[in-house]
Chains A and B, each alone.
Chain A
Amino acid sequence: GNESSKESSSPFPESKGSSLSSRLKDRLHLHSIRRHLHLRHGSGGSGSSAVRKLLDADHFAGIALLTLLRAEMEFKDKWLACVSFGEQTFRTQISDHTDKPIWNSDKKLLLEKDGPHVARISVFETNKLSSNKLIGYCEINLLEFLTQGMNSDFEIIDLLDPSSSDLVVGKIYISCSVEDPIETETGFARRILSIVDYNQDGNLSFSEFSDLINAFGNQLAAEKREELFKAADKNGDGVVSMDELAALLTVQQEKEPIMTCCPVCGESLDVSDNLNNIIHLTLCFDEGTGNQVMTGGFLTDSQASYGWIFKLSEWAHYSSYDVGLKSGSSASHILVFDRRTKRLLEELIDGKIVLSMRAIYQSKMGLGLIDKGAKELLQSISEKQGRKMSSVESAKDIPNFVDFFKGQINLAEAKHPLEHYKTFNEFFVRELKPGARPIAFMERDDVAVCAADCRLMAFKSVDDSLRFWIKGRKFSIKGLLGQEVCSKAFVDGSLVIFRLAPQDYHRFHLPVSGTIEKFVDIPGCLYTVNPIAVNSKYCNVFTENKRVVSIISTEDFGKVAFVAIGATMVGSITFLKNEGDRVKKGEQFGYFSFGG
């Protein structure tokens, strides 16, 4: 890094002479060099090789990299340490059985002038007899810590007995430094650009770049975007490398902020405080990706509900949520063939939704997110949404929903007028008037019919379905149906996928006549069943989602497996028939509703 060039391009003034800021400045400068060396000598850590930047304590904002190196305790056991800072808590892995545990765990913490400064570190012993028993703790004022003169790369701090603060029960070795703001900005730009690099070739097209700008909620004029893009595209071949664009964006962000809201938590960003924004974004992304050695402090429900990375509630209400892919997972719009009108409909998916889904279901970052607790988060959000949608207050959302999907919901077909529905869920699972859906060849049980108002995919064999649609590497009929009901005949059988969109009539009907032989509940996750997820090689939504498999025994088709699969937000599955019931094709079989 070139220190002088960084200083000249930084939007942050140097220290104006207060003693605290001077000390901080010196401390950061010295410590950054030490820290840099320390990291390069392989003590673990995030892998950042940034040289630290001097900061002004009066307008202090920075990412402090706190590292819990090791501890010396008075007895042998397995140990873990927690860092609590502000409203967040993070923990290390569990050490080996020893009296000198080594963690080398990093955590990036946001330090602001008016934000929290004191980090509390707690050390727990953990074993079968006393799981996670607090043995010692210490508190560190990070701002002061960073302003103190230090002669080594780490500090040794006494761990105090929680029941008697006079009693020292061990020592902990920590290190703390501040990340270089320019490196933070560039690194962040590089990371975020990689999300829109769909083919992962390290280059971005203009449309990919444009998608990203849209996702940041920026209405930057088209000419301005082109201007920026062209500035980076030096050889004029229409693509630019991510590194080039990251560098350009960093400079541009300082001149004229491009990002106006956080894509992870949805919080509005203060356009006048660029570094704070980048810090905020970096930390949000780190939380989401589990990029750090220390785990925990995962996205909260409220964070998860806002922002494009994880704005699940938004997915459930987007008109474009339902459309299929034009050509596999690389397309940003989906073609659907309307069987009734025999017209090809092309529907664009909102760029935010495409990015969200790709980020989660088609990227390694998304995988990290899923590994780090997104399954539980999806479940909890869906349950919460279920409770909300079953409350009397939710009825007020019905008119908005109908208005949003104007032209796609035909209220004249509903069995009851709008005011009949006392909750949103009641409306969501509304019945239709008798005869609203004529059943083809009603008198002939040898003709199967469609089971839902939906987007349908049909394949003669599983191989065809894998070739044309389902890209999850682990998909199989056995995985879908489960061991209990799967048979050789099903494994080699035909597959029909009925995908319901939020605005659709949400009851499913019987496709064939016969007898309900059995129902098998299979617990699981609540990933989205959008084509973007179905088309992802990383995601196996059909075999991992919560579902109910029913077997219908028929005279004309043998056994038919009917699998109702729950999805994000709409995870509640209700059946209106019972085992042993004799059923007729076209009859209502059940419905999906909001809930877990």
Chain B
Amino acid sequence: STVICVFEKDSINIDEDLLANSARSLETLVSVGMKLGVSRKASDVVLPNLETCSIQ
């Protein structure tokens, strides 16, 4: 079985890692609730990237 989600044009920025794997015809194993992407409307709001955060 398969679910396909179609988002309207320019409505979502899908996570780059997912796009990059797909562009290599490589499926990504994911679980329910993992981040998929961010609304374009919210593109000005930068989500914290935990990997680049540092404690000061």
- Given A557-B8, A559-B8, A564-B1, A458 and B25 contact (CB-CB distance below 8 Å): no
Q: Is the CB of B47 within 8 A of A447?
A: yes
A573 neighbours in B (Cβ, 8 Å):
1
Q: How far is the CB of B36 from chain A (nearest CB, A)?
A: 4
Q: Is the CB of A493 within 8 A of B33?
A: no
A336 neighbours in B (Cβ, 8 Å):
26-29
Q: How many residues of B contact A (CB 8 A)?
A: 39
0 or 1 for each of B1-24: is its CB under 8 Å from A? (1 = yes): 111111111011011011101111
Q: Is the CB of A494 within 8 A of B6?
A: yes
Q: Is the CB of A505 within 8 A of B19?
A: no
A570 neighbours in B (Cβ, 8 Å):
1
Most buried by A among B21, B22, B29, B38: B29
- Given A335-B26, A336-B26, A450 and B14 contact (CB-CB distance below 8 Å): no
Complex CA distance for A328 and B25, rounded to whole angstroms: 7
0 or 1 for each of A542-562: is its CB under 8 Å from B? (1 = yes): 100000000000001111111
Q: Is the CB of B3 within 8 A of A556?
A: no
Q: How many residues of A contact B (CB 8 A)?
A: 76
- Given A336-B27, A455-B28, A460-B14, A511 and B36 contact (CB-CB distance below 8 Å): yes
B35 neighbours in A (Cβ, 8 Å):
440-441, 447-450
Complex CA distance for A451 and B36, rounded to whole angstroms: 9
Q: Is the CB of A561 within 8 A of B2?
A: no
0 or 1 for each of A443-457: is its CB under 8 Å from B? (1 = yes): 010111111111111
From A55-63, A337-345, A365-373, the one touching the partner chain is A337-345
Q: Which of A337, A453, A509 contacts B27 (CB 8 A)?
A: A337
Q: Is the CB of B2 within 8 A of A337?
A: no
B28 neighbours in A (Cβ, 8 Å):
336-339, 455-458
Residue of B nearest to A551 (CB): B6
Q: Is the CB of B8 within 8 A of A558?
A: yes
Complex CA distance for A490 and B3, rounded to whole angstroms: 16
Q: How far is the CB of B20 from chain A (nearest CB, A)?
A: 9
Residue of A nearest to B8 (CB): A489
Is B55 on the interface with A (CB-CB < 8 A)? no
**Main SS of the interface on chain B?**
mixed
Complex CA distance for A444 and B28, rounded to whole angstroms: 24
Residue of B nearest to A569 (CB): B1
Q: Is the CB of B29 within 8 A of A586?
A: no
- Given A446-B39, A457-B22, A567-B1, A494 and B29 contact (CB-CB distance below 8 Å): no
Q: Which of B8, B27, B47 contacts A457 (CB 8 A)?
A: B27
Is B53 on the interface with A (CB-CB < 8 A)? no
From A275-283, A414-422, A495-503, the one touching the partner chain is A495-503
Q: Which of B2, B18, B23, B47 contacts A441 (CB 8 A)?
A: B47
Q: Which of B1, B31, B42 contacts A450 (CB 8 A)?
A: B31
Q: Is the CB of A451 within 8 A of B1?
A: no
Q: Which of B5, B9, B45 contacts A446 (CB 8 A)?
A: B45
Complex CA distance for A439 and B30, rounded to whole angstroms: 12
Is A263 on the interface with B (CB-CB < 8 A)? no
Residue of A nearest to B29 (CB): A338
Q: How far is the CB of A458 from chain B (nearest CB, A)?
A: 4
Q: Which residues on B are within 8 Å of A, measured CB to CB?
A: 1-9, 11-12, 14-15, 17-19, 21-39, 41-42, 45, 47
Subset of 23 A-B contacts with CB under 8 Å: A334-B27, A335-B27, A336-B26, A339-B17, A339-B18, A439-B33, A440-B34, A446-B39, A450-B34, A454-B30, A456-B22, A456-B28, A458-B28, A469-B25, A493-B8, A493-B9, A494-B6, A497-B3, A498-B5, A531-B27, A557-B11, A561-B6, A586-B33
Extra contacts besides A499-B1, A511-B5, A573-B1 (10): CB < 8 Å: A337-B27, A339-B34, A440-B33, A440-B35, A446-B39, A447-B36, A450-B31, A490-B9, A558-B7, A558-B8
Q: Which residues on A are within 8 Å of B, measured CB to CB?
A: 324-325, 327-328, 334-340, 345, 437-441, 444, 446-460, 464, 468-469, 477, 480-481, 487, 489-490, 492-500, 505-509, 511, 529, 531, 542, 556-567, 570, 573, 586, 592
